[in-house]
Each structure stands twice: as C-alpha cells, then as structure tokens.
Amino acid sequence: MNENKGAIKKMMIILSKGTIENVYAAFVLANGARMEGIESEIFFTFFGLEAVHKKKLDSLRVATVGNPAMHIPTMIGGLPGMEALATTMMKKEMEKIDMPDVPEFLEILTASGVRMWACKLAFDMFHYKEEDLYEGVEKIITVGDFYKRSEGEGVHMLFI
C-alpha cells in the first residue's frame, strides 16, 4: 500500500450477483475509476454473468426479498409482481439522476475502456454460448487468468 503513496492504478471488480442494484454498483465503480484516470476491469461470474447475457441484461431486477433496506416486509416482497414493480420504480428514479439503463451503461463502459471478462467456470455451469455474451466482453477466462491480469503496483480488487 505504500508504493506511490498508495495511489490506485487499477480496479479489478468481480461481479457475482445479477440483481440490478449490485450490477449498478459494479458499473458505477468501474466507470468512476475510468473517469479518474484509473484503469478498470470487470470479471463477471455466477449470477453476475446475467449482466452481460444479451437476452437477460435488459430485464435485471431488484431483490425485494431478503433486503431489509427495501423496507418491504418479506411476505409482501414475495408476492407475484413485486420485483417488477419495485424495479420499475427504481428505474424511474435512476433516470431522474441521469443514470443510464444497463444496455446503455455497457456501451459507456466499453467506450470508456473498461475491460470485461466472463468467468469460464460460471459460463460452463450455466451452459452459456459465446453468442449469448454482450460484444464488449473480450474473452472467457479462468480465475487464474484474472489473478494474472491483477498483478502490479496499485491494483485493488473488489468483490460484489
């Protein structure tokens, strides 16, 4: 941490969840790094892969069950349609603060130079095909490959 006064040079973000709030967290952090001149990469694994699955990325939802900060009682959060309703409301609020939707955000990340990778293990487990993946994802790589990419001074890793 002492090299270059602890300056952050590169953010390696691992996105393991497919709920929209977690996907946004990863995207905002990756994009925010680029805006500061910091390199950033995202490794999509497990449910996080849905954020780069062409047919799924535009229908990600917020979790209404098991999320106390939603302030929706668990029993009600589990009712049919609640996830969709909460997601619609959240998307409206996001548009108000100039937050792009997931497809547009992916375009912004690609244009900003965020490098994106899909996890081989999760990719195989969910029986994805290469053509399922958003074009900005460069390659399907292993955990070892991702660690190799994370070598160097001032590199920070973040698990979401």
Partner 1 sequence: MERTIAGKTIAVNEEGYMTDFSQWDEKVGEALAAEANLTLTPRHWEVLKYLQTEHKNQVALSIRRVGKSGVVDIKEFYALFPNAPLKTATKVAGIPKPASCI
By the rule CB under 8 A, 37 interacts with partner 1 = yes
Q: Tell me which residue of 66, 61, 70 sits closest to 20, measured CA to CA.
A: 61
Q: Which is nearer to partner 1, 75 or 97 (CB)?
A: 97
By the rule CB under 8 A, 155 interacts with partner 1 = no
Say how far apart CA 120 and CA 117 lie, in whole Å.
9
By the rule CB under 8 A, 152 interacts with partner 1 = no
Say how far apart CA 12 and CA 107 lie, in whole Å.
19
Q: Which is nearer to partner 1, 98 or 151 (CB)?
A: 98
Q: Which residues 17-36 are close enough to bind partner 1 by CB under 8 A?
A: 28, 31-32, 34-36
Provide the residue count of the chain: 160
Q: Give residues with Cβ within 8 angstroms of 153, minimum separation 6.
A: 3, 4, 9
Q: Which is nearer to partner 1, 63 or 108 (CB)?
A: 108
Q: Give the helix/strand (H/E) hosting 32.
A: helix 20-35
From 50-58, 62-70, 79-87, 110-118, give the range in contact with partner 1 by CB under 8 A.
Answer: 110-118
Q: Which residues 85-104 are close enough to bind partner 1 by CB under 8 A?
A: 98-100, 104
Q: How far is the CB of 145 from partner 1 (least distance, A)?
A: 25
From 8-16, 42-50, 107-115, 132-140, give the range in contact with partner 1 by CB under 8 A.
Answer: 107-115
Does residue 5 contact residue 143 with C-beta atoms inside 8 Å?
no
Q: How far is CA 126 from CA 16, 17, 106, 122, 123, in A?
A: 13, 14, 21, 6, 6
Which residues lie near partner 1 (CB under 8 A)?
Answer: 28, 31-32, 34-37, 98-100, 104, 108, 111-113
